[in-house]
């Protein structure tokens, strides 16, 4: 919703259209002003087309990626105990560690790759990779094999957020960009679905303890993996076979392919039953003005040719003090949340069962019932987030800061619970607020990056999230989960992240993304 490209002047804001053709502009600055002007033209063209059939179809299939981003970490947490029991492993957290390593690799590979090679190939492959290795994982003969396949399916999962958020934002009219927040309802539904399917399979067909746990008595988690892998395969087919994905027009424009960008705009208009007045000349004229104002620069041509093998997109995220500050801050926020959320949530079924046992109601039924209730509370949280980000004088930053701080507050408050029901209430509040937080975070993050660098920016934030996520199972393996210390640490991380959000220099509410 914001362009966030700054002019050379110190008074520039993130939302100013920079159309200057001053001859004294260095090549890099002229490139940026030309890009901004062309992006504004594409924004107007997409707004002229409006929110139609193509975008609503995209809303559905992009939701598959959003769901997968939450579904598979939940899957790993749910099978953690039965896998550990079957293979007689004391450090079951290694499975979560393998998953987080795969998520990191996926975030880096797919995130950076979609800025270099385009969005469509990554969009079509991420869920397919997940489905294949999840189905194979159901036949794991050893704990090491299970960890390997968890890492491999997570490589696919790790690309969903960086790629899908970029794609959806780049096709949305500025008037409907709040849907990027609402989209997170799929993230919450995924947790509900995973818990519903796990309840009968893991509740009735798995070992309750490590002693005497043979494969034939512990088939529940394998059936669960088949069910989840099959679901991912259905999502993949829905994307690849039933939906035609067009390359992002802003990505094409950023690569100098003005004609292709215009063709995509007209095809989307045709799918929506409307027309567009955009012509290739509208974009080409700005390129000619740039050449006339600064002359032909051989270095610009060389830079374009080498773009695929250097760190041009990374440097662009730090090309001014304000942008560098913004990029650094959002990476830090993602990192803190990346450690705080899985440190608590990945081990929530274990914590719920253990605390329930201490309160005298730690049965499998109660554990999964509570997990389902907690998961359901995330759905209204995501929907409320879509409303909150559009409130005047509140916006993205306000919604993200308040929800992140309250997530930490509810988490810390859960340590005061003296009964299972009280713990459930605090966990429900945590689920509602953390889902709201993620809904806003997933929308706000891609909005503060330019399209040409958006995949890279998403990759950096997601990578920071995954790197710190890797630390959570390591900490949990050595921490005493019978104490509240991991919860205190997690709550403090959320509080810190929420405070940092207030320092973000950009507010993207009401601004069309460039």
DSSP 1-48: -------SSTT--TT-------TTS-HHHHHHHHHHHHHHHHHHHHHH
> What is the CATH code for 53-245+319-501?
1.20.1250.20
Contact 318, 324 (CB under 8 A): yes
pLDDT of 9 reads: 33
pLDDT of 508 reads: 65
Report the alpha-carbon distance of residue 54 to residue 505 in Å, rounded: 33
pTM: 0.74
| Domain definitions of the chain by residue range | 27-50+247-310, 53-245+319-501
Report the alpha-carbon distance of residue 395 to residue 375 in Å, rounded: 26
Report the alpha-carbon distance of residue 465 to residue 103 in Å, rounded: 9
- The tokens describing 356, both together, are 């329930």
Contact 123, 239 (CB under 8 A): yes
- The tokens describing 12, both together, are 């520039």
Report the alpha-carbon distance of residue 385 to residue 387 in Å, rounded: 5
- The tokens describing 406, both together, are 């309250």
pLDDT in tens, the chain (514 residues): 333 333 333 333 333 332 333 333 344 444 557 777 888 888 888 888 888 899 999 999 998 988 898 899 889 988 888 898 899 888 767 888 899 899 889 888 887 777 777 788 888 889 999 999 999 999 999 999 999 999 999 999 988 877 887 788 888 887 787 787 788 788 888 888 988 898 888 888 888 777 888 888 889 999 999 999 999 999 999 888 888 888 888 888 878 888 898 999 999 999 989 988 888 888 888 877 766 655 444 344 334 433 443 467 677 788 788 888 889 999 999 999 988 887 776 555 555 555 555 555 556 677 778 888 888 998 898 888 878 877 777 778 888 999 999 999 998 888 887 777 888 899 899 999 998 998 888 888 888 887 677 778 887 888 888 888 888 777 766 666 566 677 788 889 999 999 999 998 877 655 544 4
pLDDT of 490 reads: 87
Residue of 243, 125, 172, 61 whose CA lies nearest to 443: 172
For 230, residues 6+ apart whose C-beta sits below 8 A from its C-beta are: 131, 135
For 394, residues 6+ apart whose C-beta sits below 8 A from its C-beta are: 388
pLDDT of 480 reads: 60
Residue of 435, 463, 457 whose CA lies nearest to 506: 457
pLDDT of 120 reads: 83
The structure tokens 């995209």 sit at 58
């Amino acid at each position: 919703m914001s362009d966030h490209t700054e002019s050379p002047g110190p008074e520039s804001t993130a939302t100013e259209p920079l159309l200057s053709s001053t001859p004294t502009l260095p090549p890099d600055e002229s490139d940026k002003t030309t890009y901004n002007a062309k992006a504004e033209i594409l924004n107007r063209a997409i707004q002229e087309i409006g929110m139609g059939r193509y975008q609503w179809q995209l809303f559905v299939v992009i939701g598959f990626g959003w769901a997968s981003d939450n579904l598979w970490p939940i899957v790993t947490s749910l099978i953690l105990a039965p896998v550990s029991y079957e293979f007689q492993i004391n450090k079951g957290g290694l499975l979560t560690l393998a998953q987080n390593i795969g998520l990191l690799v996926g975030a880096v590979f797919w995130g950076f790759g979609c800025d270099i090679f385009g969005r469509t190939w990554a969009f079509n492959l991420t869920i397919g990779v997940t489905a294949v290795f999840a189905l194979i994982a159901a036949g794991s003969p050893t704990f090491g094999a299970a960890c390997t396949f968890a890492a491999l399916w997570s490589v696919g999962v790790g690309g969903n957020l960086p790629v899908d958020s970029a794609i959806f934002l780049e096709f949305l009219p500025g008037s409907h960009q709040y849907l990027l927040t609402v989209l997170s309802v799929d993230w919450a539904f995924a947790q509900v679905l995973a818990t519903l399917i796990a309840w009968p399979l893991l509740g009735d067909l798995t070992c309750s303890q490590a002693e005497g746990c043979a494969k034939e008595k512990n088939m529940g988690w394998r059936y669960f993996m088949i069910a989840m892998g099959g679901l991912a395969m259905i999502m993949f087919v829905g994307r690849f076979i039933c939906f035609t994905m067009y390359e992002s027009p802003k990505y094409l424009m950023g690569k100098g392919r003005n004609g292709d960008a215009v063709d995509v705009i007209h095809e989307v208009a045709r799918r929506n039953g409307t027309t567009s007045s955009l012509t290739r000349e509208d974009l080409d004229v700005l390129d000619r003005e740039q050449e006339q104002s600064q002359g032909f620069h051989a270095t610009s041509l060389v830079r374009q040719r080498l773009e695929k093998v250097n760190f041009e997109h990374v440097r662009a995220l730090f090309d001014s003090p304000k942008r560098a500050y913004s990029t650094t801050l959002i990476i830090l926020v993602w990192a803190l949340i990346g450690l705080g959320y899985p440190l608590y949530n990945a081990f929530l079924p274990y914590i719920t069962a253990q605390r329930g046992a201490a309160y005298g109601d730690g049965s499998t039924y109660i554990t999964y019932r509570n997990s389902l209730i907690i998961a359901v509370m995330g759905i209204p949280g995501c929907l409320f987030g879509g409303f909150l980000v559009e409130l005047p004088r509140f916006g993205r930053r306000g919604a993200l800061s308040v929800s992140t701080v309250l997530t930490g507050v509810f988490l810390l408050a859960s340590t005061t619970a003296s009964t299972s029901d009280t713990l459930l209430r605090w966990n429900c509040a945590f689920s509602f607020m953390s889902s709201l937080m993620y809904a806003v975070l997933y929308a706000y993050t891609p909005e503060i990056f330019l399209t040409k660098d958006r995949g890279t920016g998403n990759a950096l934030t997601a990578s920071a999230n995954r790197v710190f996520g890797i630390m959570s199972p390591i900490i949990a393996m050595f921490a005493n989960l019978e104490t509240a210390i991991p919860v205190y640490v997690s709550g403090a991380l959320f509080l810190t992240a929420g405070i940092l959000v207030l320092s973000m220099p950009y507010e993207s509410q009401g601004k069309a993304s460039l």
